[in-house]
């Protein structure tokens, strides 16, 4: 039995159908990366899994149980936590306060303030600093750390590297490697295809609300993913066509 399964999920924004019949499963300890152009439905899909956006059809199944219409806070207590696009920290609160807020909804587990600081050492010097004054990379580390404080079974991360400098992106991913070493299960949205191919165990490429390519990252080429990303078909000669 998969830890998380999405079955024929449809999600709408008013008259716009953002996610169309999406199905996939995530095994415990797997790193699934969702890639695709802006507007492909990636963020909406993550929000639907987290319970922040209600699907119009289909199911989200966690540990064999249909989550139905359960709200986001109840899904957090079951072990599904979202790091939203744009981080959405409490800017007037310190790093430590942001982490402790999440601890109020925590499940039993290994993650506490000290464990987060071990994984994201760049935060140690900023623990008492307002999160609104941090750099983009430090804010992203705080947002991921805040999610980890709930001791999730599945960590959903939306747009890991959005708006970050190359150095900050490298630092965040280096810290994520230590999170993965604990056996974490992660579903992430990422635009950096080269990094995604190195980091993820499996990739699903979305186009116009559908998954158009899915497979093990180790068996995919950048060219294949790029072709799916832009809605092109591979030809027998190794080129692409609409």
- Nearest one of 206, 230, 204 to 216, comparing CA atoms: 204
Give the residue-averaged pLDDT of 72-79: 94
pLDDT digits (tens, 9 = 90+) for 116-147: 999 999 999 999 999 999 999 999 999 999 99
Domain of 199, CATH number, reads 3.40.50.300
Give the residue-averaged pLDDT of 174-188: 94
- Nearest one of 74, 84, 78 to 156, comparing CA atoms: 84
Supply the DSSP symbol for 76: H
pLDDT digits (tens, 9 = 90+) for 36-55: 999 999 999 999 999 999 99
Instruction: Give me the domain span that covers residue 87.
Output: 4-241
Confidence band, pLDDT 50/70/90 cuts, at residue 85: confident
Give the residue-averaged pLDDT of 186-215: 94
Is there a contact between 22 and 8 (Cβ–Cβ < 8 Å)?
yes
- Mean pLDDT (the chain, rounded): 92
Confidence band, pLDDT 50/70/90 cuts, at residue 233: low
* pLDDT for residue 104: 82
Number of domains in the chain: 1
């Amino acid at each position: 039995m998969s830890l998380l399964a999405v079955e024929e999920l449809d999600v709408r924004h008013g008259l716009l159908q953002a996610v169309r019949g999406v199905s996939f499963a995530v095994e415990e300890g797997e790193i699934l990366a969702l890639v695709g152009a802006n507007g492909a439905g990636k963020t909406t899909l993550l929000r639907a899994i987290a319970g922040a956006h209600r699907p119009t059809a289909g199911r989200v199944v966690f540990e064999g149980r249909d989550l139905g219409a359960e709200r986001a806070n109840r899904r957090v207590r079951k072990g599904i936590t979202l790091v939203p696009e744009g981080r959405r920290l409490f800017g007037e609160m310190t790093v430590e306060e942001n982490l402790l807020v999440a601890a109020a909804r925590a499940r039993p587990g290994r993650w506490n303030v000290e464990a987060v600081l071990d994984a994201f050492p760049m935060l140690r010097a900023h623990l008492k600093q307002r999160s609104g004054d941090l750099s983009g990379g430090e804010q992203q580390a705080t947002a991921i750390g805040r999610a980890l404080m709930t001791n999730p079974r599945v960590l959903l991360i939306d747009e890991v590297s959005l708006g970050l400098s190359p150095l900050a992106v490298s630092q965040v991913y280096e810290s994520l490697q230590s999170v993965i070493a604990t056996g974490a299960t992660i579903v992430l949205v990422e635009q950096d295809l080269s990094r995604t191919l190195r980091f993820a165990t499996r990739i699903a490429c979305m186009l116009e609300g559908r998954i158009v390519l899915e497979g093990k990252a180790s068996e995919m080429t950048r060219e294949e993913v790029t072709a799916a990303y832009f809605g092109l078909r591979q030809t027998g000669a190794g080129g692409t066509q609409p």
